[in-house]
Amino acid sequence: MEKKTKKVTRRSLLKSVLSFSLYSIIPIQLKAFSFFGEGNFSIFDTNKNNAMNFKLPELKYAYNALEPHFDARTMEIHHSKHHAGYTNNLNNLIKGTEFEDKSIEKILISKDLPAGIRNNGGGFYNHCLFWKILSPNKVDPSERLLSMINSSFGSFDKMKEDFSKAAATRFGSGWAWLCYDGNGLSICSTPNQDNPLMEGACGGKPILCLDVWEHAYYLNYQNRRPDYILAFWNLVDWSVVENNIED
């Protein structure tokens, strides 16, 4: 009897220590989150090669590495033509403006962003995040991230269901998002190259995204966007998604 009581106590103690570790990360996240409105913080700082130019990021995998889910030809055109196009356009549009020495996040959160910079700045940022969270070797979420997902959505499957629905029901071109708002996680979608950080968008810090423009899937999936969404889940590196919360 005495032994049993001791065991329970130890377990409760362990539980308290674990939940303390979990909750103690929240102030750190909030601090990082508030950075958006302050300095020149960027999760893509390495993609700016000098004060003026954003740089197309190199992929950390080959164009054919995501097959059979995302085909090599689509990946090549998507990265070397579409993303490169947004990057070049953005650099040309910000030249000589108040935006030229700002991080991409600072540009995106700006009020009254000119349409061209909004479209191409979003195109630059959104694809940087998209390539970053993809991997030929799917990585499952950690216990810590799972517990955040569970408290926001009830379960990992429910989060996937909500995200897939947001991606499938976005009419025309756009993106689906998983965001961190400083307390929990949320899901939304945006049209065109809009981004949750932008004025009037759904808000929160984007940590996972899915491109639902037809250029992202048409060669392989044609009109079957739901099949493309299903395939996407085989390519997510959840350790990167978790790092995006604090980056």
Candidates 52-60, 84-92, 98-106, 205-213 — which segment interacts with Mn ion by CB under 5 A?
205-213
Q: How far is the CB of 78 from Mn ion (least distance, A)?
A: 6
**CA–CA gap between residue 85 and residue 213 (Å, rounded):** 15
Under rule CB under 5 A, residue 211 binds Mn ion? yes
Under rule CB under 5 A, residue 242 binds Mn ion? no
Closer to Mn ion at the Cβ: 170 or 185?
170
Under rule CB under 5 A, residue 70 binds Mn ion? no
Q: Determine which residue in the list 124, 163, 213, 221 makes contact with Mn ion, applying CB under 5 A.
A: 213
**CA–CA gap between residue 168 and residue 51 (Å, rounded):** 38
Under rule CB under 5 A, residue 237 binds Mn ion? no
Candidates 11-19, 37-45, 164-172, 204-212 — which segment interacts with Mn ion by CB under 5 A?
204-212
**CA–CA gap between residue 134 and residue 115 (Å, rounded):** 28
Helix (H, G, I), strand (E, B) or coil at 48: strand
Closest CA to 215 of 203, 204, 228, 206: 228
Closer to Mn ion at the Cβ: 56 or 245?
56
Size (the chain), residues: 247
**Which amino acid is residue 74, in one-letter code?**
T
Under rule CB under 5 A, residue 86 binds Mn ion? no
Q: Which two tokens stand for residue 89?
A: 């356009």
**Which amino acid is residue 193, in one-letter code?**
Q
Closer to Mn ion at the Cβ: 117 or 216?
216
Q: Which two tokens stand for residue 39?
A: 């300095």
Closer to Mn ion at the Cβ: 162 or 211?
211
DSSP one-letter code for 222: T
Helix (H, G, I), strand (E, B) or coil at 226: helix
Rounded to the nearest 10 degrees, the angle between the axes of helix 2-24 and helix 26-34 is 0
Closer to Mn ion at the Cβ: 198 or 216?
216
Candidates 108-116, 143-151, 171-179, 208-216 — which segment interacts with Mn ion by CB under 5 A?
208-216
Count, residues near Mn ion per rule CB under 5 A:
3
Applying CB under 5 A, the residues found at the interface with Mn ion are 211, 213, 216
